[in-house]
Every structure is written in structure tokens, then in C-alpha cells.
Structure 1
Amino acid sequence: MTSTEVTHEAEDSGPGGYAAARLRLLTEGARSGPPRRAALAALTDDWLAGLFDAGGAGRGGASLVAVGGYGRGELSPRSDLDLLLLHDGSDAKALAALADRLWYPVWDLGLDLDHSVRTPAQARRTAGEDLKVHLGLLDARHLAGDRALTASLRTAVLADWRNQAAGRLPELRDLCAERAERQGELRFLLEPDLKEARGGLRDATALRAVAASWLADAPRDGLADARRRLLDVRDALHLATGRATDRLALQEQDQVAAELGLLDADALLRQVYEAARVISYAGDVTWREVGRVLRARSVQPRLRAMMNGGKRLVERTPLAEGVVEQDGEAVLARTARPERDPVLPLRAAAAAAQAGLPLSLHAVRHLSATARPLPTPWPAEAREQLVTLLGAGRPTVQVWEALEAEGLVTRLLPDWERVRCRPQRNAVHLWTVDRHLIETAVRAAGLTRRVHRPDLLLVAALLHDIGKGWPGDHSVAGETIARDVAARIGFAPADVAVLATLVRHHLLLVETATRRDLDDPATVRAVADAVGSEHTLELLHALTEADALATGPAAWSSWRGSLVADLVKRVAAVLAGDEPEEPAAAAPTAEQERLAVEAFRTGGPVLALRARTEPAAEAPGTAGPEPLGVELLIAVPDQEGVLPAVAGVLATHRLTVRTAELRSLPLPDGVEGSVLLLDWRVAAEYGSLPQAARLRADLVRALDGTLDIAARLAERDAAHPRRRGVAPPPPRVRVAPAASRLATVIEVRAQDAPGLLFRIGRALEASGVRVRSAHVSTLGANAVDAFYVTREERAPLPDGKAAAVARELEEALRG
């Protein structure tokens, strides 16, 4: 059925015919995107015009006007109808009857309606008071009635907008900034709002309004296509959900991707991010130009320019060879010759970032169109300019984005294409892969005073996740890519090897520090063997911190920083020639002995809570002493079920476990048995810590079986159900080979949840193994825990037994 036939069906059948034609149009598989939006708008135009004419309004003095998105002819399946009933005020009674004949059929069909009834004078006055109303009227489109009335309003509204641009555009800019602060950046969000977030449809509409002011215009290349792609995604979202929503929630992304013919949700997000990046960059350029024009208008001509022969002389301050500052931007000098100077793009970018200036749109486009490619390997100056750009700190971001917008980054680093706009589906990450790499370089720039080779640190920061665009372990793939890129950039072979090591092992320190026993010589020796030298260790330490800080607040803390620093200190000693010693059984402290004696005397658990802090100097990345959690000491006569009982009680009191060590202390001579000593680090999820007496009382009940921990945790989960979303991946349990000579290390990766450690402890107890220590690490919604387990005789498990325990534990967690 053609759009004309659909329109005729709607006209012939009234509201019911419109509803049927609308449904047929939305379910046509062959029609989507702009054609469907235009056809839906045309269908709705004809239906509303029919309602208007049936109301006897053909006489003049009134008109029906579409505004906002409907005015632009962009009707998504669940878009509301923005309508203005415009009149000359001559017949109030007839106007009220006409309004009823228009609005009620719309409501009867369940369509959302945003309507108003105004004279042209009232419409202009309201627009003057409300910026959003004014923006909607800029897209006013005549539907029915007195066409001259609509035309006169459009002319007046546009004239008002242009005459008031000096005041209205700063107001619009502030509105966009406030919305961005509230909704975030569309190009980085896992569940973005396609309309409200920065780089979304509202920003695209704002750029149209700026162009309508004749004061400035947005870069047009790719802007219309980016806007179309976001509208297409919104159409598919409306069809998938059946709701008028702009929020691209996780649980709908696969269905929306299928509706658009995309491979999967990642392909969908990448397309959304690319569109948002185009709109965001266009906005940055446009608002800079608006500011420049308004500043120029506010200064008297004799103060802002000198006249010489009728020509305006603009002040241009040199920044680097071929690069000058003009009007608050870095631009190319008149003598610059990109076609003869292949280093100029990097030199201009480095100069702009060092000066804290944006790189002008004209300069970037001219460089993109005319600059010669760099030879392989790069000349030394090109390598130095890249390092200078990366070391400029926060200004690097806007300059790098300008280079990316015009394709210069992928021309310099072809491997960048695979990580560009690539989403990261771990909630710990704030950024896409490419932006995370730049943010890591920004963070690394603040740590260059700590290392002997700042250039290697900065380039490693840029490349450490470059392998995420390839299948398999991104660190392994990244090592290969880093070798190739570093050689192409012109680093010496020894430096290439260091960069490859840094990329390959950029997660080594934090994963080892938080998941392994640092007192175990095998742990320290394995890290030393992987790193190879003290200088590489120094660089890896700084890269680890920069990477974590650039990931997000959940990825770095004073606790993690202190563990990494402790590991680095131990590894540095080994690399300097000291051999790690087998840990001897540490003598109990006076407090531990006191608790053990009291537990033996009372026959029940005894515990103590004590807050621990770490000075800023020993906790990198912090501004002052910060808590490392709370030390929880528990002594209890050795018996079965202690680990799950303690873990369960802590979970019911909303305490998060960070580390857990367990050891046995023999009882005094002549007394059989032992006391189990637990030295744990815990932190309150929120609120204050529970009283030690309450913890002890619940622990006593958990050990004697009168407290059903599993039931209590289930009740809490039922009372606070989790938000519906994509099902998490199943848990994975493995035996870490050769991780320790003293115990078997079993590593658990699972969705973090209250009581997870309780379930793990219960499963390990059922497997008949003893837990010597536990190292708990949580990254966003993912728990990565390591358990050092032994046989009764304190020896590692045989290979077959270890594999069986891992299988049983994984089955228990899946169940």
C-alpha cells in the first residue's frame, strides 16, 4: 500500500481509519527511517486537517500549526503531537468547539498531545518568556486553516529570534550545558537517553536554532546523517517497547539492534556513539563560534581591530612553527605548508594542547585535506610531538577529539579504528575504549615526575587497551599491536620491548595485589619474572594507577593503592637481587592471643573491630589519610562451618569483605584442639558499622544452627528486588596453576551479590577443604575472588581433587 493509499484510507474512515492506516504503516517491514517518519507525518497531517475542516473552520481567522518535532515532520511511532491552534480572537465560542473537535479524537486514540490555543501576539509573548516554546515555534508548519495567519506568525517568530539572538543564544547554551550535566554524555552511557543526553536529539535541534539565528552555523559534514541515525534508533526503540521512551535500556538493546538489522547490541551502541560524537563535536565548534561573535560585537571596533587600508588586522600570537593563536583558537600560520610538512598535524595539536586552546575547525580540516602522510618509521620530531600532546593533561581531550572528527587519528594510528566508539559493558568503566585510552594518558601526565621515561609511560597509556578491538585476551592482542605501533612511531628496539611488556601486563599489579597472597614467595617471583626490570616496574606502577583512575571511582581506592604499593615494594626487592623467603608462621599478636585465650575459656566466638587508615604518602592517588576499611578479628574454637557462618553474618549486617585470612592457633599444652583465628578487612556498604556485640550474638546463633542465614538473605533479596535487566553471565571457577607452592588457588568470577561469599564458603566446606585465606575484589557488578585452600595436612590439593572442587563450586554457584 502506498502512502497515498494509506492517506485515502484514513480520510475515508475517520479516526478508526486513521488508526488502522497508522498501524499498517508502522508494521510495514519494507518502510523505515525517514520515509516512514515522513509518511506518518503526512498521514497525521491529513487526518488532523480533516478534523479541522469538519469543524467548520474553513472560514479564516484560525489555523492549525504543527510545532517542535512534529513541525519538522519527524514523527516516531510513539511521538507526541505538538499542536498550536492559532486564531485571531474573533469568535471565542466557535474556537472552543473547534478545539474540542480536534483534541478529543487525538486523546481517544491514546496519542500523547501537547497543545495550546493562542493568538499570534500571545504566541510571541509566550515565546519571549519561555525559550523552549520559542524553539518549538521555529519549526512551525502549517496544517490547516488560514495559511496567511500561520505565515505571519512564522515570519514574526523568526524575526524575533534573529533580533534577540545576542540574548537568546547564551540562554540556549546554558540550557544545553545544564541538560548535559543532568543527563551525561550520550556517547559514553550504557543506557543513554537519545534525546536529552549531550550529543542527542535536543542538541541537534539546538544547532538548527543557532543556524536560524544567522549568527553562526554548525559544521554540516555528517550532522544530518548523525541526526537521522539517532531518529532511526528511537523509532526502533518505540516499536520494541511500545512506549514513548527515549531511554535505550540494556534489556531492549538486542531487540532494537535486530529491528535495525544490526549484528548485536554492541554494534547498536557503537552506531549511537558515533552519531553522538558528531553532534557533540559540532556543538563544541558552534558554541565557540557563537562566543567569538558575541564577544566581537560587544567590543568597540576601534578596540577590537586596527584598520589599515580598509583591512582588519587580527592579532596572531606564534605557538609553534606553522601554528599561531587567533581569537582564542590554535590556527595555522599563513606560511604553513601541510603538503610539505608531514609533522604539522602533530605539531599543531601539541601546541594547541600545551596552550590549553582548541584546535580550530578550519585548521583541522585543512590539515586533513592536505597534509602528507608520515614516513615509516616516524621522524624523531613527530614522536616527540605525540608525546607532548599526550603529556598536556586535560586539554589533550578536546584537541584529540578534533583530530578524530576529521579522521586524522586513524590516519596516524590505523589500529585506532577498532577501538573508536567501542562500548565497554562493564559498569565500572565511565568511557568508551578510545576515550578511556585518552583519559588514561591524561592521568598519566600527572604521574610523569615519578618515572624515568615519561615518554614510554604516556605512549603505554595510549595503547594499553588497544587490543580490545580484537578477539581473545585484549592484553595479548594489545602486546602485538603495541610492538607494531611503537616500531612504526620510531622507538628503539629496547623501548619497543618495554612498551610491549607494559601493554601485556597492564593489569598484572592490581590483579595480583587484590587476588593473591603477597606473603607467598611464588606470587612475588611470578610478577618479577613477568616485569623483568626495576625501570619497567616503575613504569607499570604508574600505568596501573593511571589506568584505574581513568576507569572510574570504583576501580581505584586507597585500599587498592596500598596493596599495589606493597606488591611493588616486594617485587622491587626481588629485582634488586633479594630472594623472597618462605613465610614462617607469624607469632600471634598480643591482641590475637588475648582473643584466642578468651575463645578457649568461653567456648564461643570472640571478636574485635578496629578502623584502619593509611597515610596519603603510602596510598597513591589520595589527598590525605583515608580509611582502608575495618579490621575484624575473630577467634573461635576450631569447628566446621566457621567460614560460611562468618561470611553470612557479615552479609546480613551489610558488611563488604575485602580480604580474609584464616589460621589455627594451638591451645595450651595438654589441651587438645585449636582456636581458629580470622583476620578480615571489612567495610560498611552504607551507614555506620554494627556493634561488635550484635555481630557476636548472630555469629553464635549461626554456628549453633539457630540462625538461618540463607533464609534471612533470601528475605532481604525479596524485599528489595533488583531492577530488570540483561541476565549476567554465569559464574566461572578455575584453578590457578602454579600460583602458590603452599596452597591451591581457586579463582571465582561471578556476579556480585549479598551473600556470595557465604555461598562460596558453604560450598568449599562441603568439598572437605580448608580455606587458608581469601582475597576478595569487586569491580562494579563483578566479584573476582581467590581462595587459598589446602588439605587437612595443610598441603596443596592434588590436581584431580583441585579440579573436582572447582567443578563442585561452580555448580553450586550456578544453582
Structure 2
Amino acid sequence: MADADHPHTLGEHALVTIERIGELRKATDTSRQRFSVLLSEIDDQEVLVFALLFRDAGKEAAARIQMPAGAQDAVEFLISHRLDLSDAVRGRDLDDPVTARLLADAIGTIERLKLLAVLTYAETAASHPEATIPWRLEQLWRTYLVAQRELTRELETDRIQDLPQSLAAGAEFVKGFPVRYLRARTNGEVEVHLKLYELSRPTGVAVQIDRIEGAYKLTVVARDMPFLFASLAGAITSFGLDILKAEAFSNSKGLVLDTFVLGDPKRTLELNPPEIERLEDLIRRVGLGKTDARRLLRNRTQADPKKRSFSPQVRFDSEACDTATLVEIVAEDRPGLLYDLATVFSSTGCNIDVVLIDTKGHRAIDVFYVAHAGGKLSPELQATLREKLVAAC
């Protein structure tokens, strides 16, 4: 039945929330457009609709239809945490750092935060009079930013110190990685990385390529060295593949774990399976410093800034942590963009500690934690980097 918070019956309310999601794609006002951008950045929008439609019955429904494990986890999270953001709007001091930490601990990853923010948007837009919605959406957006900034800050500041008992013996190699590493991965994935780590010990690098839904996942475990991340990105680009997502983690022992989700627009790997082994060999040689990525890309066409559909945005945040500077870049995606950006950092003597890359359509959202001479970037170096990064876009 209907109540004060939900003017429709539960069945009607679920359908109205889904309708609000559909309308969001065509939003024209600023208060909704921000959530429209978040929606466009969500990979599995079906999970969102499923959670809105089934609500508390969603966990059992997802299991009954044998939804993939990752999607089931996302549905369960949305159902269990669907009130987290709205409760924070109503009852928390958003200027209190404790609020940010509580939200980050509850939500866990930026990807889940986006899902939860859009779900809360739909609930808000379906439950309140139109006249009050702009104010409510402003408060929701502010809450989203509080959690997003804390989760981004934690990429560098919160490192794994103690291992969960559920992890396999020998998983000590993950110590020093960002806490996000464990939040965003299953124990099975950690075990795969452990095997790669063991394979890397004799030579210094191990590589694995897996087919995933509509794409390929490249995982690299290696010893850190200058230009490593840029070189790996360059090697991928030279193969004609698109980098859809990427994460790069390192620890104080010089161990690097890089993962890339790759698009295969020319179906090179699909139609020619031996090319997978050739790509693995190329990445292995690049990871050992035996192949120079610059030579692989020497004949590529340079990007024309005049053809950009929007201007790149570069943001520096030196308050995010004590040891490095957060650099966020939003730019039009193109082949070789990640290689060019990472090369800018490495060529100016910067050390890339953490990388989180996402691409939606033609829009790349790249987050780097970068240090120079063991500390944060100076204002002068930030100015130099800004100019070079914008030019590289």
C-alpha cells in the first residue's frame, strides 16, 4: 500500500522508479544531468533496474534465475544499502569527516557508489512532490561527492596491512596495495593473482589474458620500473586494441599489479587466437624492458586538438593524502591517450603510485596518484603538468 514516503503502492512505486531512470537519459536540467552522467558510467544498468523492480525479493530472484555471481553481489549490495545515501542526507553532518569515512566503509568502491547514487535518485524522484525535488537532488549530489572524494582519497591513503583469514596462504604479496584491491575482488581473483605473482618471481614479470563478456582482461604482475605503466599502455595501443578500463597498484616493495580491460574493435584476437599469445609475449618483453613502446608507436598519427568534441579537464588535489597528489583527467577518449598521459608523468620524473581508468563512449575518466621526489607535486610542477597533460589530450 502507499505511505508518506511512497505515494504509490509498492508495485506502482517500483515501476515509477524505473520510469525515472528512463527519463534520466534525456535530462536537460542541471540537477538531473549530473545523475545522467553517472548513469552513463554504469556498466551493468540491468542490475540497477533489477534491484528497483524486485526490492527485498531481489536477492532470491537473482539466485533463482542464476544471475552471474558478480551481478548477484551488486543486487544484494543495492538492496542492503539502498537507504545509506538518503539516511546520510537526512541525519548526518556532511562536513564531518566521520560521515565520509562511514559512507566509504559501507559502500566500498566508486563503482558501487555510482549505482547507489542513481538508485537513490530514482527513489527520490519517484517519492516526492516535484517542487521539492531540486533541493533534495542537490543534497543527494553533495552526499555523493562526500563519499566519492573519500573513496578516491583512500585509493592512496588506505593500504592493506592485515590480510583477511579467508585469503589463501601465500597472499602476502597484496600487502601494501590499496584497500580497494580487496573490496573490488573476489577471493578467486586474488588466488589468480597469487599464481601470477609466483610465476613472475623467476623472471620479474607474468602475464595473463582472459576472455570476459564482450572484451578481454589483461593482468600483469611485474617489478616496478620507470615508464612501466606508460609502456604497457603503449604496447596495447600498438596492437590496435582499446583500453576500456585499467587499474594499476604498487606497494613499497616495488611490486606492480596492472589490469586492463581491452576492447577488440577489429576482432583481431577473436578471429586469430594465436595473436593472444603474441600479445602476451609482447607485454612480457615490455614488462622486462626488452621492447621500447616508443618504437612500437613511432608511425602512429598524432591527435589533432582541433577535432576535440570537448575541452579536457585536469584537476589536482594535494589534500587527498600526505604522500602524493591526486590528478583527475576527463578527456575525449582516443587510441593512445593513456600512453600519452602516463608518459607525461614519467618524463617529468613523477612516480605513478595508483591508477584508476574508466572509459564511457568517447569520454575517458582517468585518476592518477602521482608523487615527485618522494612527496606531493609542487605548485610549479602542477602548472607544468597541466599544460603538458592538456596538450597530450
Shorter-chain TM band:
0.5 to 0.7
The answer to whether the Cα contact below 8 Å between 1:612 and 1:631 also exists between their aligned partners in 2 is no
Distance 1:389 1:706 in 2: 56
Is residue 342 of structure 2 the alignment partner of residue 796 of structure 1? no
The CA distance in 1 between the partners of 2:367 and 2:17, in whole Å, is 40
Change (3 A) 1:700 1:421: closer
Letter aligned with residue 234 of structure 2:
G
Please report how far the alpha carbon of residue 788 of structure 1 lies from its aligned counterpart in structure 2 after TM superposition: 1.3
Give the TM-score normalised by structure 2.
0.55
Task: Look up the equivalent residue of 2:379 and give its one-letter code.
Answer: G
Return closer, same or farther for 1:487/1:594 CA change in 2, 3 Å cut-off: closer
Q: 1:360-394 CA distances to partner (integer Å, 9 max, x unpaired)? A: xxxxxxxxxxxxxxxxxxxx65x542474762327
Equivalent residues of 1:747, 1:786 under 8 A apart: yes
Gaps of at least 5 residues in structure 1 are 1-319, 321-349, 351-379, 402-415, 431-435, 466-480, 489-495, 523-562, 568-587, 600-605, 614-625, 666-675, 719-724
Give the alignment's TM-score, normalised by structure 1: 0.29
Indicate the residue corresponding to 2:13 in structure 1.
Answer: 391
Q: Say if 1:589 and 1:727 are closer, same or farther in 2 by CA, change over 3 A.
A: closer
Asked if residue 461 in structure 1 is aligned to residue 122 in structure 2, the reply is: yes
Matched residue, 2:203: 598
1:631 to 1:516, Cα distance in 2 relative to 1, 3 A = farther
Match of 1:609 in 2: 208
Shift of 1:779: 2.3
**Partner of 2:231 in structure 1?**
645
Q: Which amino acid aligns with 2:296?
A: I
Residue 505 (1) aligns with residue 112 (2): no
User: Does the CA-based 8 Å contact 1:763-1:808 persist in structure 2?
Assistant: no
Deviation track 1:317-367 (CA, whole Å, cap 9, x = no partner) reads: xxx9xxxxxxxxxxxxxxxxxxxxxxxxxxxxx8xxxxxxxxxxxxxxxxx
1:764–1:805 Cα contact (<8 Å) kept: no
1:771 aligns with 2:352: yes
1:611-626 → structure 2 map (5 Å cutoff): 611=210
Is the partner of 2:376 in helix, strand or coil?
coil
Give the equivalent residue in structure 1 for 2:183: 566
Match runs of 1:59-458 below 5 Å: 383-386=5-8, 388=10, 391-393=13-15, 397=19, 418=29, 429=40, 444-448=52-56, 450-451=79-80
Superposition deviation, residue 790 in structure 1: 1.7
Answering whether residue 304 of structure 2 is matched by residue 682 of structure 1, we say no
Deviation of 1:771 after TM superposition, in Å, equals 0.9
Higher relative contact order (CA 8 A, sep 6+): 2
Aligned counterpart, 1:752: 333
Distance 1:768 1:451 in 2: 45
Q: What is aligned with 2:295?
A: 708
Match of 1:696 among 265, 281, 284: 281
| Cα distance, 1:705 vs structure 2 | 4.2
Deviations 1:429-464 (A, max 9, x none): 49xxxxx9xx97886343356248879697742547
Does the CA contact (< 8 Å) of 2:355 and 2:366 recur in 1? yes
Q: CA RMSD in A?
A: 5.5
Q: CA deviation at 1:596?
A: 4.0
Contact 2:230 2:340 in 1 (8 A): yes
Distance 1:810 1:387, change over 3 A: farther
For 1:417 and 1:729, the matched residues in 2 are separated by: 18
CA-CA distance at 1:756 after TM superposition: 0.8
Residue aligning to 1:658? 246
Question: Could you tell me which residue of structure 2 aligns to residue 520 of structure 1?
Answer: 157
Deviation, 1:760, is 0.8
Structure 1 residue 642, shift from structure 2 partner: 2.4
Contact kept, 8 Å, 2:199 with 2:206, in 1: the verdict is no
* TM-aligned CA distance change 1:706 to 1:681, over 3 Å: closer
- The letter of the residue matching 2:350 is V
Q: How far 1:652 sits from its partner (Å)? A: 1.9
Unpaired stretches in structure 2, ≥5 consecutive residues:
58-78, 88-118, 160-179, 185-192
Please give the secondary structure, in 2, of the residue aligned with 1:778: strand
From the superposition, tell whether residues 516 and 453 of structure 1 become closer, same or farther in structure 2 (CA, over 3 Å): closer
Question: Separation in 1 of the partners of 2:198 and 2:49?
Answer: 49
Letter in 2 for 1:391: H
1:461 counterpart letter in structure 2 = A
Distance in 2 separating the partners of 1:441 and 1:482:
22
Matched residues, number = 295
The residue identity in structure 1 corresponding to 2:259 is R
Residue 733 of structure 1, CA deviation: 1.4
Query: Aligned-pair distance for 1:775?
Result: 0.8
Give the greater-gyration-radius structure (CA).
1
1:120 — aligned with what?
Answer: none
**Secondary structure of 1:684's match?**
strand
CA deviations 1:558-589 (Å, max 9, x no partner) are xxxxx79937xxxxxxxxxxxxxxxxxxxx95
**Contact 2:206 2:284 (C-alpha < 8 Å) held by counterparts:** no
